[in-house]
Chain A
Amino acid sequence: MDKIDNFLNKNFDEYEIYQEKSEYKSISFESNNLKEISVKQSQGFAVRAKKDSKITFSSSSNYDLKKFQSHFLELSNYSIDTKINFPSKSKGANTNIFNKEDFNISNNYFIDKLKKEIDSILKKFPNALCDAGFNLAIGEINLTNSNNLSLNIDESLVSFFISAQIINGNDMLNIYKYDTSVSNITEEKISSMTESLKEDLSIAQKISSTPKKGCPVVFTPHGLYQTILSPLLVSFSGTNLSKKLSSLCDREGEKIFDKNITLYDDPHIDLSPSSRNYDGEGIPTKKNVLIQDGKFINGIYDLKTANESGKDTTGSAGRSLHSNPSPSTSNIVMQNGENDFLKIIKNIDEGILVDHLLGAGQGNELSGDFSANISLGYKIEKGKIVGRVKNTMISGNAFKALSEIEEISSNTESVYRSLFLPFLQTNNIEISS
C-alpha cells in the first residue's frame, strides 16, 4: 500500500486508507440434513482523500493500483464539499470483541451439535422440517490516515440459528431462533433456544380466532424491534437529522415520548458482535443516550453528519468496504419497567402478542409509520397465550406508539444480541384482518 500512500501524498491534502480482510465459514443443514459447508475469504481497501475542502472516495478488491489511481483522479474532478477533518489517534475503550480460537473449532463439533438439536426437535415433532446452521467470521480492519491515525482492529463472530417448519393442510408454520456472540455460543444457550422453539411450536400449532379490533397489543422484544424501533431509529440517524428530514430535528431536550421510555446506544457490551471500541472513522466510541425519561437527547452521528448538523460526532460511523461511512447503531438498550411479562398478560382479557412481522420496513419509515402482516403472533385470552393468530395486519406510528405506554416489562431479552429490549404494551395500534 506504500504506492497508494505516495500517490495520495502527492495529489491530496489529507487522506484515509481503510483495509479489510475477513474469513467466513458456514455450516448449514437444510430439511434436517447437512447441505453445505462453505468458506469465504475476502479483502479490499477503500480510500477517502481531501483537497481544497473537497472529498473523493473509491474502493477496490482487485489491487490493480494503476487503474485505481486513474479512477481516483477522474473522480476527484467531481469531489464533494466537506468540512470534516480526519481524526488523530485517541484512546478507545477495551471491550472484548475478539476471540481468535473459536474460529478453528472442528467442523465435526458444529455438525454434531446441529444434528443433536435437530434430533431433539424431531423427537417431539416427527413431521417437522428443520434448517439450522453455524456461521463463523473473523476479520481484521486496518485504518490509517495522514493525521497519524493507525488502528488495527480484530473482530470475530459466531452465530447459530435453528428453524422448524410444520405444514398442516394449507397452513405453513415456521419458527426461527437465532443468537450470536463474539465467541462460541454455550451449549446451555443453544439447548435453551431449541427448548423455547419447541414450546413455541406446541402453542402455535393451534390457530386462534381473529382478534377483535382495538384489543390490547403486546410486543415481544423482537416484535418491539421490528415494528416500532426499526422505523423510529431512522429518525435518530444523523443522515436524516443533517438533511432536516427527521421530525426530531432541533428538538433536543423536548419531551416527545412516554416518561417511562429511556433508550441508549451502548457500544461497550462485552462479547456482543455489535460492540466497538473505535468507530469506522477511528473515533473512540462512547455510550450515547437517545431518549431519557421520554425526552429526546441526541441523534446518531458520524463526522460528516455531525458537522452538517452543528453537533459532535457520537462515534457512530458504520462502514462496509465499498461505501462511504455512515451513522449506524451498535447495541440499542431500552430501560426495563416494573412488572414481569407474565403479570402483564395476566391482566389482558383478549389481546395479541406480536413477535414476527412480514413486510415491516417497506413504507414511509421517516414518518414513523409502520404496517405489516403478523407472520408470528399469539392470541391472549383471559390472561393466557392460547394459540396463533393468522391473516392479521397491524399498522400504526412508532412515535404515537411510544408516546403512551401501558406497560414495560421488568424482564428484557437480547434480540440478535445487538438490542436489549423489554416486552411492551401500547395503545394506538390498528388491527385489521
Chain B
Amino acid sequence: MNTKFKNIISETLKQSKSNYKEIRIEESLSTRINYNGDKRENISINSQLGGSVRSMANGGWGFSSFNDINKAPEKMKESIELAKYNTNPSFEIYKNNPVKVEIKPVIKKDPRSIKLKDKINLLDHYKDIILSQSSIKGCEIVYGDTERKVIFSDSEGNEIEQNFIHVILRIAANSSDGNELLQSGFSIGSLGDFSIVENLDKDVLGCAKKAQNLIKAPKVSGKETTVILDQILAGVFVHEAFGHLSEADNVDENDRLKEILKLGTKFGNDDLNITDGGKIPELRGSYDYDDEGTPSTKTPLIREGVLVGRLHSKETASKMSEKVTGNARAISFAYPPIVRMTNTIIENGKSTKEDIIKDTKDGLYVKNWYGGMTEHEMFTFSSAETYRIKNGEIKETLRPVKLSGNLFTTLKNIDGIANDLEINQGGGCGKGGQMPLPVSNGSPHIRINKCLVSSG
C-alpha cells in the first residue's frame, strides 16, 4: 500500500476509543464516451480521490466523507462525536479474523491497454452500422471503463486493499416512421475484460433491426397472462421480485416482516432455487471482501422453494443472530455501506426452453430489459422485446411491456424453469440514493403462469 495512505490510516484509527471505527480511501479514474443521435457527443476522463470514516456508539453510526484525505483524522473525531447522539440498544458487531491483504484486479483484456483512439474507432464503427439502416433516427451509445482502488481498514485490525476494473457498454437504436419514436437496445458489462465490447457487429445490427420491427408492432392491452422470460429478463425479475426483500436491513427491525420472511417459509415451487454471492468469481458483482471487510460468500436464499437465507451486513447479522454474508456495499467512499445484492441467480431447472414454449397455448415471450423497481412486496420490470406465443409457437413482434407482481404470489406462479442459465452483467442497482452499483443477475428461461402486464 502507498505509504501516504498508510500513514493517514494509522493516524485516523488512533483517534479516541469508540467501540468500533473504520476508514475507507478510494481512488478512481474513469473514461466515458457517449453518442447521441448521429454523432459522438462527449468524451471525458474523470479522476476522483476521497475517503470516509465511520464509527459506532450507543447502537448507531456516525459517518463523515471528504475529498481531502489529509483531513481524515479530524473527520474521525467528528464521526465519533456524531455517533454519540444515538440512544439505541447497543449490539455486538460481528468480528472476523482480521486480515492484511492486497487484492489485484481481475484482468482478462485490460481496457487501460487500449488506446483512446481505438476505443473511439470501435464505437464509431457501431454507430455507423446502426445509422446505415433504414428508418433509423439515431443511436445512443454509452461506453465506460473505470479503475478503482479501495482501501479499507478498521479498529479490528483489518487492512484490505482491493482493485477493480469495470467495463460497461449500452447500445440502443432509435427508429421512427415519421410519427412515433421507438427504441431497442442492450447493455453488457464485465470485470476487467475489454473484449466483451469487441466483435459485436451482429448484435448491433440485430439491435437496429429490432428497432425497425417495433414500428409496425402492435401494443399489448393490459391483462393478466402467461409470460415466458428469457435469461436476461428473468435475471432482472429475480433481482426485483425477490432479491431486495432478502436484504436483511429491510427486516432486522421490523417484527412483522421477520414473521413473514421467517427462514423455512415456502415461497416457491419445489424446483425453485435462488442464490446470491460476491464469491461467485469474475462477475461485476464479485469481490473478495465487502466494504466492511467481511469476506464475500455464496448465500443460498431459496432451496426447493423454501426461504433458507438472507443477505447481511455486520449490523444486521448481529441484530438477527444470523451469519454475516459479506453483502455490505457502498457505491463509493462518499456513502456508508448498506446491505446489497452481488450476483443473484435462479439456478437451472429440468425443463428446456423449447418444452416450456411448446407447452404454452397463449401468452407472451418477453426478452431483454429496460428497467425494474421494487417497493416492499410489489415490483415492476419492463421488457425490451416482446413476442406473442400462440399454441406453443413464437409468433409476431409486439411492443415492449411492463410486468408487475407481488412477492407472495408471483414466485409461486413460476411453473417452468429451463436448464439454460446465463448471466447478464449490464445492470446497475439503486438503493438509498446509491446508484448504479455493479451487480449481475442470472437465470435460465422461466415461465410465470399468471403475471399482470401492461403496454410498456
Contact = CB atoms under 8 A, between A and B. Distances in A.
A107 B85 contact: yes
A41 interface: yes
B248 to A, nearest CB: 13
A47 to B, nearest CB: 10
Interface string B226-265: 0000000000000000000000000001101100100000
B120 A78 contact: yes
B62 A36 contact: yes
A34 B47 contact: no
A19 interface: no
Interface string B42-58: 11111111100000000
Contact of B48 (A33, A62, A165, A239): A62
A123 interface: no
A310 B334 CA distance: 41
A400 B337 CA distance: 44
B76 to A, nearest CB: 12
Interface of B is mostly: strand
Contacts of B63: 36-39
B380 A359 contact: yes
A143 to B, nearest CB: 18
Nearest to A235: B181
Contact of A362 (B82, B222, B371, B375): B371
A44 interface: yes
A375 B378 contact: yes
Given A37-B63, A64-B47, A167-B256, A364 B452 contact: no
Given A80-B41, A363-B400, A60 B47 contact: yes
B376 interface: yes
B207 interface: no
A170 B454 contact: no
Contact of A247 (B181, B402, B456): B181
A59 interface: yes
B382 A366 contact: no
B300 interface: no
B62 A37 contact: yes
Contacts of B61: 35-38
Contact of B456 (A34, A57, A369): A369
Given A367-B180, A373-B404, A393-B404, A39 B336 contact: no
A207 interface: no
A74 B116 CA distance: 8
Contacts of A343: none
Contacts of A170: 260, 377, 406, 408
Nearest to A31: B253
B40 A80 contact: yes
Interface residues of B, number: 78
B372 interface: yes
A380 B144 CA distance: 49
Most chain B Cβ neighbours within 10 Å, of A38, A40, A61, A239: A38
Contacts of A35: 60-61, 86, 88
B64 interface: yes
A99 interface: no
A144 to B, nearest CB: 20
B371 A111 contact: no
A75 interface: yes
Contacts of A78: 40, 43, 116-117, 120
Given A74-B116, A111-B85, A243-B37, A432 B222 contact: yes
Interface in A342-393: 358-359, 361-364, 366-367, 369, 371-373, 375, 391, 393
A58 B402 CA distance: 37
A129 interface: yes
B126 interface: no
B87 A34 contact: yes
Contacts of B125: none
A74 B117 CA distance: 10
Contacts of A432: 221-223, 452-454
A68 interface: yes
Contact of A41 (B67, B85, B116, B377): B67
Interface in B62-114: 62-68, 71, 78-79, 82-83, 85-88
A75 B402 contact: no
B266 interface: no
A61 B30 CA distance: 12
Interface in A68-85: 68, 71, 74-75, 77-78, 80
A120 interface: no
B48 A60 contact: yes
B371 A433 contact: no
Contacts of A167: 254, 256-257, 260
A373 B377 CA distance: 12
A174 interface: yes
A189 interface: no
Given A172-B376, A366-B181, 17 more contacts: A38-B65, A38-B336, A39-B78, A58-B44, A61-B48, A62-B48, A64-B49, A170-B260, A322-B46, A358-B373, A359-B382, A367-B182, A391-B406, A395-B222, A395-B456, A430-B455, A432-B452
22 contacts: A30-B253, A31-B254, A33-B88, A34-B85, A34-B87, A37-B61, A37-B83, A38-B64, A38-B82, A44-B48, A60-B47, A78-B116, A107-B82, A111-B85, A245-B181, A362-B371, A364-B181, A372-B380, A395-B402, A430-B221, A430-B454, A432-B454
Q: Name the 8 nearest CB pairs between A and B, nearest first.
A: A432-B222, A359-B380, A362-B371, A62-B49, A31-B253, A38-B63, A243-B37, A172-B376
